[in-house]
Amino acid sequence: MTGASVRMPEPDAQLARKLFDELDRHTRDGAGITRASYGDGEQFAHNLIEKTARDIGLEVSTDVAGNLYVTLRGRKEGAGTFLIASHLDSVPQGGNFDGAAGVLAGMAILSSWKRTGFAPEFDVATMAIRAEESTWFPYSYIGSKGALGLLSEEALEVRRADTGRTLAEHIDALGFSAASVRDRVAHWKPNDVKGYVELHIEQGPVLDGSDIPVALVTGIRGSFRYRDARVIGEYGHSGAVPRTYRHDAVVAAADFVMQLDAKWRQLEQEGRDLTVTVGKFFTNPEQHAFSKIAGEVGLCIDVRSHEKATLALVKSFTDDLARVIADRYGVCFELGVLTGSEPAIMDPGLIDIFDRAATRLKIPHMRMASGAGHDAAVFAGAGIPSAMIFVRNQNGSHNPDEAMRIEDFDLAVRLIAQGISDLTC
């Protein structure tokens, strides 16, 4: 891909502000935002985008998995489609910007271009992706994989955390086709997609700490996860069982976690890219007590890296460590179902185009990798030129206190609009 400066109209910033307000008003759940995947909140968001698009006069369509497309036709038929994409679901009690900002960026651009009659040679579509947040269904990238015909049959049998109903049931309940998803019906062939860009709030403190409003993402970490691991020991009386007779699940689990952390520290010192997180660690509330040796601990393990070799190394270490700790303390490890995702590298040519556009627009920017997973990884993995733009965000993400400044969002949207308009076929 090459870039050449093209004059383009300003994105419709007021529309984006209006849509942010509507999403906040209708999907606020106490202190935060809840838009469950294939649930009422996500569906409200999709309905809002669809109605807004039809009012503007843009084309609207969906695929078999329920992903929504808002399309502006280009000047040249058959030149492919450039996707501006993100998701509209949220974690429980999350923030209003995570995911939705990318969809609203696309709407702001297409609204302006439709109103002014501006269009590049190729089609441009805003894609609202389903079920990116694996909090609801413990499976990564449901919507984007569904769009590309890559969703496994096993994924359709995964149950939503709150309803207990399968993904297939939720897809069919909204009028889409789980059978077609099972048959790997693809909405997109990689050769039909000219490129993909996803705007997202940064989910860490780097941009805010550097006082830089936007970043060009170079790559996305892959992962492996044991979401529902258990350490099974033996309950006993806290005063009556000596150490040598104990099968203490808490002590075993704690030793396991601390050795994982020590391995992370070692590999980090060797220069490897890695994060290791145990986000849940709990005894069974139906059986634990002040005067009991714990016989069961539940925990989850989330390991991420840009490097496939590092993921493989830590996966092997984790499995071996579980066996060693089990023998040492006389307990049993049940690591459970393994899930994960592949690392993804963003397209260097596309990154360069957005880099030149940012420079031309005098937008301060930097390059950085993403520690969190995003749908862009699936499109990049399918061979589609993909890019991500991070927007500075205060207070992290996946919480009600997300604080993206709207002026930073406006800069990122202008950057995307300029980059796409600069593309040549």
pTM here?
Answer: 0.83
pLDDT the model gives residue 388: 97
Using pLDDT thresholds of 50, 70 and 90, give the confidence band for residue 369. Answer: confident
CATH 3.30.70.360 in the chain, residue ranges: 223-341
CATH 3.40.630.10 in the chain, residue ranges: 13-221+344-422
Whole-angstrom distance, CA of residue 140 vs CA of residue 152 = 11
pLDDT the model gives residue 100: 98
Taking only the tens place, the pLDDT of each residue in 259-277 is: 999 999 999 999 999 999 9
119 DSSP 8-state letter: -
With CA atoms as reference, report the closest residue to 325 among 301, 352, 290, 341.
301
Give the strand pairing for 281-283 and 365-370. unpaired
Using pLDDT thresholds of 50, 70 and 90, give the confidence band for residue 3. Answer: very low
**In sequence order, what are the beta bridge partners of 282?**
298
Rounded mean pLDDT of the chain? 95
Using pLDDT thresholds of 50, 70 and 90, give the confidence band for residue 57. Answer: very high
pLDDT the model gives residue 425: 43
Whole-angstrom distance, CA of residue 184 vs CA of residue 145 = 9
Query: Which CATH number describes the domain made up of 223-341?
Result: 3.30.70.360
> What are the distances in angstroms from CA 259 to CA 51, 254, 265?
53, 9, 10
Residue with token string 């000219």? 194
What would the two tokens of residue 363 be? 């937008």
Q: Cα-flanking dihedrals φ and ψ of residue 191, to 5°? A: -70, -15
Architecture of domain 13-221+344-422: 3-Layer(aba) Sandwich (3.40)
- The answer to whether 19 and 81 have CB atoms below 8 angstroms apart is no
Taking only the tens place, the pLDDT of each residue in 193-240 is: 999 999 999 988 999 999 999 999 999 988 999 999 999 999 999 999
pLDDT the model gives residue 8: 78
Whole-angstrom distance, CA of residue 300 vs CA of residue 420 = 41
- The answer to whether 342 and 381 have CB atoms below 8 angstroms apart is yes
- The answer to whether 296 and 252 have CB atoms below 8 angstroms apart is no
Taking only the tens place, the pLDDT of each residue in 291-330 is: 999 999 999 999 999 899 999 999 999 999 999 999 999 9
Taking only the tens place, the pLDDT of each residue in 87-113 is: 999 999 999 999 999 999 999 999 999
pLDDT the model gives residue 341: 82
- The answer to whether 64 and 106 have CB atoms below 8 angstroms apart is no
